[in-house]
Structure 1
Amino acid sequence: MNDKKRLILDTAIKCFANKGYHATSIQEIADTAGIAKGSLYFYFKSKEHLLISIFEHGFTEFMTKMQAIAGDSDIEPRERLIRLTEVQFEQFVENHDFIMMLFKEHALHINEDMKQFLFGLRAQTIETYRSHILAIYGEEARPYMLDGASLFSGLNHEYSQYVLFAPESLDFRKLAEFLADRLDDVMFSMIAKRPEPILSEAKIEQFAEKAKMFSFKKARTVYDEISLLRKLIEGLQLESAQREDLLSSIQVLEAEFDKPNPQKVIVKGMLAVLKSCKEKEIRQVLQHIEAYL
């Protein structure tokens, strides 16, 4: 990720955390970042696309760290679960603005892509807890894995709010150990009393299967359009001089859109050169690029 794109993401997170997603405009984000609005649109087609990119980037980093711990077979399962919980709290503090953004205005319910993404994240979390519960408590715990995972997730969520708003008052290691002890209480009680499970293993399989379907339908940016245009032209059978002219025009387009205020005259001039290509797909891409002016 280049520096400007990262700047836009970080600035948007702060703005959304302070004012909420709906109350923040693209212009405010651009002004706060010290860039032109057009430059922001070079990387993100819309405010919604920007929000989705924030989620994708933030949770990808978070899950990468969590999965590294979850997959460490050198650590015994109970200690691994404690460490997972401790790192989760540490990540909350390190990414305070991002987490605060999640609390604002229920911004998570923007569209179906966002709901699907969060559904998938939830499934991954429950699956991680479930596998650790089975490893810690053995086969007797199998009927109660999902109930135990859901209860443990709920405890973590509730205490995460204290971590977020008053981290200096809590010892994350002690808190993680405390929550693991409470999981002991819950699991040993269910194993001993053998109540009928509320959530069955069949349900978690169904839940996990649905989660596999989640994906982001990323909105295209002018940068994506220009990249596609280059690939299409490189795939054409052209004379070397014409190919060089067309690729040079694309290079000028990229350079112009990377400026805070792209010059329309220059962009239109390059598009005019590129319109010498009559292929339908290329003409469509050129129309998309022209729409950014």
Structure 2
Amino acid sequence: MNQKEHITKTALALFSQNGYNATSMQEIAGQCGIAKGSLYKFFSSKEDLFIEIFDMCYREMFNKAEIFVADKNLSPKEHFVQIIEFQIQYFIENEFIMMDFTDRELPIQRSEKFEEIRNRNLIKKMTWQKDCIIAAYGTEIELYLWDLIVIFRGFLRQYLYYIIYENRPLSIKKVSVFIVERLNAIVRDLLHSQPDPLLDKSILHTSDDLSSTSDNNEQSIHETLNAIAFAIKELKTNEAIRHELNETLNLLSDEILKNEPRSFLVHALMGHLERNNELLGYLKQLKLLLTQTVTTHKI
């Protein structure tokens, strides 16, 4: 192990034990047996060291996953159980990166370098999970692949939270089998009932997918506007108020569907509709969709 690797391993242990904010560069240097100044020859700041460790943990996980070989006598779904066991065990042993997986607050904020590395690893992790699901269930589930990934990640995230942060004595093997059995049931139901999928590869948020994401957003905006119109129709109120709400919604629809909607007018019209509590949920969703659409430069 070279000196840089020694520093990162030592810092990882201290960050995991004491927390990022409570660990100083001086303490890391002392544990490594070097002068603090020598530490800065490798890392310009504690934040830079954190980013390196975060990326290192993911590189190690992916490298181990590539050489992970299951028993050739196992079925694809039994192999999937083994892969889930591996993931859970790795996250338990490397709780440091679990902060990212369980959406707990990370100590690094507003760092372009960190966000780039974080997003790259997220895409790689989701792609790996996608390949695992296809291997287990075959290409016939490709239509629902991204919905299944979200469902799988939700199962995995919640059980990891209970195991790691609430110290529940759950068997890793039983959790892995349970997750696969639940996915089996979901896959059977999807293939039988054949509903329209909700998600596609745009959830990876790569630059190549921006146009697809924007198209999906615009469709969702139309659907949400229609849902608001239906909700107004079902309101228990007098016709004068219903007519006023419909007129406001029509003005809002016309404005947000323009190439360059006027934000002040959109805000004012939505504020008027928000006076009715039964519309708040739809309007919150609409606001989120509009924000996402602005991000993709379509509105």
In structure 1, the partner of 2:162 is 162
Q: Distance in 2 between matches of 1:189 and 1:208?
A: 33
Q: Distance in 2 between matches of 1:174 and 1:60?
A: 27
Q: 1:184 is aligned with what amino acid? A: N
Q: 1:53 is aligned with what amino acid? A: E
1:125-183 Cα distance to aligned partner (Å, 9 max, x none): 22223233333333431210110011101211111122324668222122111110111
Pair 1:172-2:185 in alignment: no
In structure 1, the partner of 2:84 is 85
Distance 1:62 1:134, change over 3 A: closer
Q: Distance in 2 between matches of 1:37 and 1:205?
A: 40
Shift of 1:47: 1.5
Q: Distance in 2 between matches of 1:157 and 1:12?
A: 25
Q: 1:130 is aligned with what amino acid? A: K
Between the two proteins, what is the percent identity of the paired residues? 31
SS of the residue aligned with 1:43? coil
Distance 1:98 1:6, change over 3 A: farther
Is contact 2:130-2:149 (8 Å) kept? yes
Distance 1:101 1:184, change over 3 A: closer
In structure 2, the partner of 1:143 is 143
- Relative contact order, higher structure (CA 8 A, sep 6+): 1
Q: 2:60 is aligned with what amino acid? A: E
Distance 1:17 1:145, change over 3 A: same
Is contact 1:78-1:132 (8 Å) kept? no
In structure 2, the partner of 1:199 is 199
Q: Distance in 1 between matches of 2:97 and 2:135?
A: 32
Pair 1:127-2:127 in alignment: yes
- For structure 1, the 5+ residue unaligned runs are 211-293
In structure 1, the partner of 2:7 is 8
Q: Distance in 2 between matches of 1:171 and 1:58?
A: 24
Is contact 2:89-2:172 (8 Å) kept? yes
Is contact 2:85-2:176 (8 Å) kept? yes
Shift of 1:35: 2.6
Shift of 1:6: 3.2
In structure 2, the partner of 1:184 is 184
Which is further off, 40-49 or 178-187? 40-49
Is contact 2:16-2:96 (8 Å) kept? yes
Is contact 2:4-2:42 (8 Å) kept? yes
In structure 1, the partner of 2:57 is 58
Q: TM-score, normalised by structure 2?
A: 0.59
In structure 2, the partner of 1:42 is 41
Shift of 1:89: 1.5
Which is further off, 89-98 or 47-56? 89-98
Is contact 2:81-2:177 (8 Å) kept? yes
Distance 1:187 1:16, change over 3 A: same
In structure 2, the partner of 1:285 is none
Q: Distance in 2 between matches of 1:70 and 1:123?
A: 23
In structure 1, the partner of 2:261 is none
Q: TM-score, normalised by structure 1?
A: 0.60
Q: How many residues align?
A: 208
1:67-106 Cα distance to aligned partner (Å, 9 max, x none): 2338998754322221111011111233345646988741
Distance 1:145 1:109, change over 3 A: same
SS of the residue aligned with 1:21? coil
Q: Distance in 2 between matches of 1:15 and 1:101?
A: 18
Is contact 2:25-2:36 (8 Å) kept? yes
